[in-house]
Amino acid sequence: MTLADIQPGKKARIVSIENVNKLVRRRLIDLGIMEGSIICLKNSLPFGGPYTLEADGQSIGIRRREASLIEVSNL
Amino acid sequence: MMNVALIGNPNTGKTSLFNALTGFYEYVGNWSGVTVEKKVGKLKDELGQLIDLPGIYSLNPLSEDEAVVSNFLLTEDFSAVLNIVDASQLERNLYLTLQVLEYGKPVVIALNMFDVAKGRGLKIDTEKLSLYMKTPVIPVVARKGTGIDQVKHYLREINAENQEALVIHYGEILENAIQKLIRQLPDSRLPKRWLALQFFEGNKPVWELLKKHVDESVLQKIFAETEKRIAETESVSSLDRYIRQIRRQWICNVLEKAISHSPDRKVPLSDRIDRIVVHKVWGMPIFMLLMYLVFKFTFDWLGSPLSDALDAFITGPVTNGISSGLEAIGASSFVKAVILDGIVAGVGGVLVFVPQIMILFFFISLLEDSGYMARVAMVMDRLMEIFGLNGKAFIPMIIGFGCNVPGVMAARTIEQPSERLLTIVLTPMMSCSARLPVYTLFAGAFFAENQALVVFSLYFLGIVVALVMAKILTSTLLKHKESVFVVELPPYRVPQGQVLFRSTWEKGKGFLRKAGTFILGGSVLIWFLSYAGPGGLSVDMNESYLAMIGGFLGTLLAPIGFGTWQAGAALITGFLAKEVVVSTMNILYASPDISSLQGIIAGSFIPLEAFSFIVFILLYIPCLATVAVIRKETNSLRWTLFSMGYSLAIAYVISLIIYQGGKLLGLG
């Protein structure tokens, strides 16, 4: 299951971010988002636009393609 | 004299703290070695200087902006670090703190947004934190000025002699490798253990430095061997992830002892605002509406009346005053001509636009300071992706509407090098406020009824050209470079008056400086070239040197609709700064003020030619200051020349289409 499969407003635990683009992965890690983090999909923008995510009070935006490369599991 | 470096994560309130600790005095200078701007403020109470560094998450840089901090630590002499930390995001913020503590300079930690953390149910024991970090930790609320005295107190107490670097044990494999590398390093003022750690973390500026002292193959061998051994025994594949894991463990251990949570958490206000402004349906319309309001305020509701009042003041009392003053001291007619026809006409013609420029900068600062800019990047990303860019590239473009120079610099926050380059090269297509005086002049003379529409069409054209160019470049020269997007969405904050006015002034003062330098000098030069000619001084303007130079250009420009020597001359001077076009015309048409200049211009252009001319002004070349900053930011002469060449070509082609097409349609 990936982050792109999660319902908006739902939370999940990150299993792996290995497949994410290197630059994005580094930035996610900088922001404290990595394996084991609990992440919430807050909303998405139309026409395949980016997702707003939240982890530990920290909001970030990433593209849908990147979100679909983040493996997650249900809590 | 103490030099304190201000280091912290982005969006932690660095600017607020900087302002609270320093007086209004500050300057922008260059670092030795690297040409990146730094902002230096004088600490209050004669404590020394405070150096503002870009916000970073880790010393190991990802973007250009972040490399600045590593380079600072490697090359500059400083006495202490003031580390600002967001109390509500401690786990992430302390990662940088740890790297700074490992450096071994005295550190004072300012725990900012203590109130926000409390509101989120965090209870932080600063004394315990201070104990584990072995350095002072002070709770502050920078926006309200709480705790600032304490920070100053600890800065005063700093004693460089007895500061020890924080040492964390990184496991036997890595510790052995660190020792092995340290033995190879020459003695310098830089801490060896810190250098070794940053090296293993993959910090590029540190690699570059070490390569000067140690054979590159030796470095690569140590790195590869260590990474392999770590991968064999630990669960992580790369050294930087391993180091990060150790540090995070250390941080979590500390936080476990120093922090307690209380369970009551309500939905933060930011989340509620975000539900609206990055809403599926409403996100884009809200952004459009905000931009519309900004431009309405700047150009219509607030800016124009102010500009008109200033114009009346300069052409009336100021000109009369100077004129009678010159009369009274018995100045010669030459001096009178230089001052009144050259300087007052040239500089005054530009100064009247300062209110509009300042208002636009005020709104840009407002968007930045409130936290909305990051949301703009979100809202625009899908559209920008089509053109091979990402949403973050839109921010330099919006700033570029104010002035292209800070716009080009704002591209530093874009992680992907090719996307950053593209944004730098395209930002000059954004119609900066210096071009506005030219539009206003011509739109007022020819399209008085549709003035707003004509000006808007130019802004729009600039964006369209930039996006189309982006598409062309990403499918040719910059092909196969993947576009990526990740943006931090900071909590919204009510903008602070002082910070707003300060950053508006920061951005806007450049215009006033330009008026006193480029435009003043340019005006005198233009006036002189129009006053002198092969036949001597005080010649008829049509026989002047300027008429000759402009006339040559005029023949090249005839196919696009403005073959007069005045237009040619104005375009040359417009390269100095776009608003000089107005100054030049003011002088060349010997006009006392803007409204009579409009009358004169209405007699020498037809509407189609005028429109072609302002389109050309929009696109034809980045101004001198922008060219300089493009050169600095791209560090490439080729791309700098490219940015000039392609804009000239595009401007000519588009003006040609407009003029010739318009003639075919019977508009000329």
Query: Using one digit for the tens of pLDDT, what is the confidence trace for B444-492?
Result: 889 888 888 888 899 999 999 999 999 999 888 877 677 889 988 888 8
Domain B172-261 has CATH 1.10.530.10: no
pLDDT of residue B32: 34
pLDDT of residue B26: 54
Q: What is the rounded average pLDDT of the residues B272-281?
A: 84
Interchain contact B223–A (C-beta under 8 A): no
pLDDT at B170 over 90: yes
pLDDT of residue B27: 52
- Categorize the per-residue pLDDT at B37 as very low, low, confident or very high, splitting at 50, 70 and 90: low
pLDDT of residue B519: 75
Chain B residues closer than 8 Å to A21 by CB: 482, 484
pLDDT at B622 over 50: yes
Annotated domain spans of chain B? 2-162, 172-261, 287-481+500-664
Tell me how far CA of residue B190 lies from CA of B185, B193, B361, in angstroms.
10, 9, 41
Binding residues of B: 8-15, 19-20, 22-23, 33-37, 52-55, 112-115
- The residues, any chain, with a CB within 8 Å of residue B50's CB and separated by 6 or more, are B4, B6, B18, B21, B22, B40, B41, B42, B43, B82
pLDDT at B34 over 80: no
Chain B residues closer than 8 Å to A44 by CB: 280
Question: Residue A61: which of B58, B378, B416 has the nearest Cβ?
Answer: B378
Interchain contact A5–B (C-beta under 8 A): no
Tokens standing for residue B166: 């924080």
pLDDT at B264 over 80: no
pLDDT tens figures, B186-230: 888 899 999 999 999 999 999 999 999 999 999 999 999 999 999
Q: What is the rounded average pLDDT of the residues B510-520?
A: 76
Q: What is the rounded average pLDDT of the residues B119-142?
A: 90
Tell me which of 3.10.20.600, 3.40.50.300, 3.40.1190.20, 3.30.70.260 is the CATH number of domain B2-162: 3.40.50.300
pLDDT at B656 over 90: yes
Interchain contact A24–B (C-beta under 8 A): yes
Give the whole-angstrom CA distance, residue B584 versus residue B241. Answer: 60
- Categorize the per-residue pLDDT at B263 as very low, low, confident or very high, splitting at 50, 70 and 90: low
Give the whole-angstrom CA distance, residue B586 versus residue B530. Answer: 12
pLDDT of residue B339: 86
What domains can be seen in chain A, in order of their start residue? 3-73 (2.30.30.90)
The rounded mean pLDDT for chain B is 86
pLDDT at B131 over 50: yes
Size of interface A-B (CB pairs under 8 A): 104
Give the whole-angstrom CA distance, residue B343 versus residue B175. Answer: 68
pLDDT of residue B448: 82
Interchain contact A69–B (C-beta under 8 A): no
Percent of chain B residues topping a pLDDT of 70:
96
Where is mean pLDDT largest: B53-57, B338-342, B475-479?
A: B53-57
What ipTM was predicted for this assembly? 0.94
Q: What angle do CA B478, B481, B482 make, to 5 degrees?
A: 145
Q: What is the rounded average pLDDT of the residues B255-279?
A: 80
pLDDT tens figures, A39-62: 999 888 888 899 999 888 888 999
Q: What is the rounded average pLDDT of the residues B385-396?
A: 90
Tell me how far CA of residue B456 lies from CA of B246, B393, B450, in angstroms.
55, 21, 10
Give the whole-angstrom CA distance, residue A33 versus residue A24. Answer: 11
pLDDT of residue B423: 94
